Structure 1
Amino acid sequence: MNAQALIDTTRRLVADHKGLLAMDESTPTCNRRFAPLGIPQTEEARRLYRELIVTTPGLGDYINGAILYDETIRQHTKDGFSFSDALGAAGVIPGIKVDIGATDLAAHPGEKITEGLDGLRNRLKEYFQMGARFAKWRAVITVGSGIPSSGCIEANAQALARYAALCQEEGLVPIVEPEVLMDGEHTLQRCAEVTEEVLRIVFKQLHAQRVLLEGMILKPNMVLPGLGCTTPTTLAAVADATVSCLRRTVPAAVQGVTFLSGGQSAELASARLNAMNLAFKSRLPWALAFSFARAVQQPALEIWRGEEANVVAAQQALLHRLRCNHAACRGEYDAAQESPAV
């Protein structure tokens, strides 16, 4: 493990108030997003959409890295450049999703475990040769009656830590993503309690597996009430609950926290990130940034709809969302910025 190289890459990934773009949707997920818009669910349609993203002019002005999927990192632009090379030319570091998805956790009804550790060392070697310099692994934690269980949290935390150690061994910065899902009727306070417990156990396991904290990035959920919760909340309440949770659990050695959007609307995800940075940025040891997927891509996808004539407008919509989130990383986002992209 080259510790200094990992630290340097991590610094680049969280520098200049920029975030990460998660364009690592699996093939089934990508197809599900295409279907309602009438976009063909084919490899070529997926390639065209991803080319639209990686060739967006000015992409590197707002993001430092982009997370790819196994299919995506093997694809090329119409001019013959790999997507990794196209991103690199834009000043964006290529990354790669390496888990193979969540499945039912045996003896734990309603809970999931993420798989993909088998053969991971060799896959990481290949991805490094293809240009990736960081990776991502997502664990999902469901909140419900009697769950999450300690067994589920421990199992997922150990898998995240083992993945992270393998990444660093092969020269890739690991993004550690323990997501407490928004599904359910739980309150903001309940989400805070679960998120704090999850993060405590995750960092305990990272320490046990000798993961270099300066050479990793945390990608957590914001602390939010469940989608079925009827109790109203405010931007300030979300910011306070989320930052309080992070302060109690995330060591200062970690260089960056890049939030997932988790099903929030594009505008609300930006506003909540902004509220955190506006209130707390100068008092925190780590950068607070974004690693959004749908909250950045969905407006562009709805404009594109598989039509070549819509590419430029879709790219402008993508840049608009990235520009808003870049402002939120500085605590300078305002709802007045939500004018149509031109």
Structure 2
Amino acid sequence: MNEQVLIQTAQAMVAEGRGILAADESTGTIEKRFRSIGVENTEPNRRAYRDMLFTTPGFEQYTSGVILFEETLFQSALDGTPFPKLLADKGVIPGIKVDKGTKPLAGSPNELITEGLDGLRERLVKYKEAGARFAKWRAVITIGDGIPTDYCIHTNAHALARYAALCQEADIVPIVEPEVLMDADNTIEVCEAVTGRTLEAVFDELRRQRILLEGMVLKPNMVVSGKKCPVQADRRTVAEATLRTLKRYVPAAVPGIAFLSGGQSDEDATAHLDLMNKMGPLPWRLTFSYGRALQAAALKAWGGHNVEAGRKAHLHRARMNGLAAAGKWDPALEKAA
């Protein structure tokens, strides 16, 4: 393990005013996205869509890295340049999603466990040769009647730490993503309690499995009300609850926290990040690792053929979130656009 390489890469991933584009949708997930705009889910269309995103002029000013799906890592842009090289030439770090998705947790079928550890050591060698310098593994924690159980939280935390250890062994920075879903009817207080339990378990496992905290990036949910909760917390309450939870459970040795958007609206995801950065100073850099909150507008504008409109929408959201990552966003910028 080359500690210096891991530390330098992790710090670059959370550089001020830049964040991570999560473009790692599986073939099944991107089919849902394409269906919403009437585009057929084929390999050429997936390649063309990602080409549109990655060739957006200027997006690299606000984007430190891109998480790729395995298929995309080995594809080339429309001009023939391998996608990892295209990104690296722009100063954007290529990354790779390495988990194999979720399955029902044995003994607690209403909860989920993430799979993909088998053969991961060998796959990481292949991914590194293709240009990946960081990886991502997502664990899913569901709030519901009697859940999450400690069993689910600790089993997923253990898998996250095993994944992280294998990544660091290969000099690949692990993004550790424990996502508490926001799909239920729970209050923000319940989300805060569950997020705290989850982060406590995750960092306990990371320590046990000898993870270099300076050589990783955390990708957590923000502390929000469940989508079906009749009373939705306002933006300041979300920012305060999220920071309170992170300060309790995330060691200062972690260089940065790159939030997932988790189904928030584009503007809410940006506003929450901006508010938290305005509440500093903080022990870690706060930035974004958004999928839908960076891509939804671009996907709709692209529509399968309008490349320039797609690029314009992508650049706007990248810029808004880049400003939020520096605590410099203003709602008036959205209205002006």
TM-score, scaled to structure 1: 0.97
Q: 2:331 aligns with which of 308, 317, 335?
A: 335
- Counterpart of 1:264 in structure 2: which amino acid? Q
Alignment check: 8 A CA contact 1:135 1:172 kept: yes
Q: Residue by residue, what CA displacement relative to the aligned partner does 1:211-248 show, whole Å, maximum 9, x if unpaired?
A: 00000000000000100001131111001100000000
Q: Distance in 2 between matches of 1:265 and 1:208?
A: 37
Alignment check: 8 A CA contact 1:66 1:92 kept: yes
Q: Displacement of 1:256 after TM fit?
A: 0.3
Is 1:321 the counterpart of 2:327? The answer is: no
- Counterpart of 1:322 in structure 2: which amino acid? A
% of aligned pairs identical? 55
Structure 1 counterpart of 2:271:
271
Q: Displacement of 1:110 after TM fit?
A: 1.1
Q: Residue by residue, what CA displacement relative to the aligned partner does 1:105-133 show, whole Å, maximum 9, x if unpaired?
A: 01103100000000000000000000000
Alignment check: 8 A CA contact 2:59 2:319 kept: no
Q: Distance in 2 between matches of 1:255 and 1:225?
A: 27
Structure 2 counterpart of 1:300:
298
Structure 2 counterpart of 1:237:
237
Q: Displacement of 1:17 after TM fit?
A: 2.3
Alignment check: 8 A CA contact 2:16 2:285 kept: no
Identify unmatched segments of 5+ residues in structure 2: none
Identify unmatched segments of 5+ residues in structure 1: none
SS of the aligned residue for 1:17 comes to coil
Q: Distance in 1 between matches of 2:232 and 2:132?
A: 41
**What aligned pairs does 1:221-236 form with structure 2 within 5 A after superposition?**
221-236=221-236
**What aligned pairs does 1:1-342 form with structure 2 within 5 A after superposition?**
1-279=1-279, 281-282=280-281, 284-307=282-305, 310-339=306-335, 341=337
SS of the aligned residue for 1:168 comes to helix
Q: Distance in 1 between matches of 2:220 and 2:228?
A: 20
- Tell me whether 101-110 or 248-257 shows the greater mean CA deviation: 101-110
Q: Which structure 1 residue ranges, 4+ long, deviate > 4 Å from structure 2?
A: none
Alignment check: 8 A CA contact 1:58 1:90 kept: no
Q: Displacement of 1:313 after TM fit?
A: 1.3
- Counterpart of 1:330 in structure 2: which amino acid? A
Q: Displacement of 1:60 after TM fit?
A: 1.1
Alignment check: 8 A CA contact 1:59 1:90 kept: no
Q: Distance in 2 between matches of 1:208 and 1:265?
A: 37
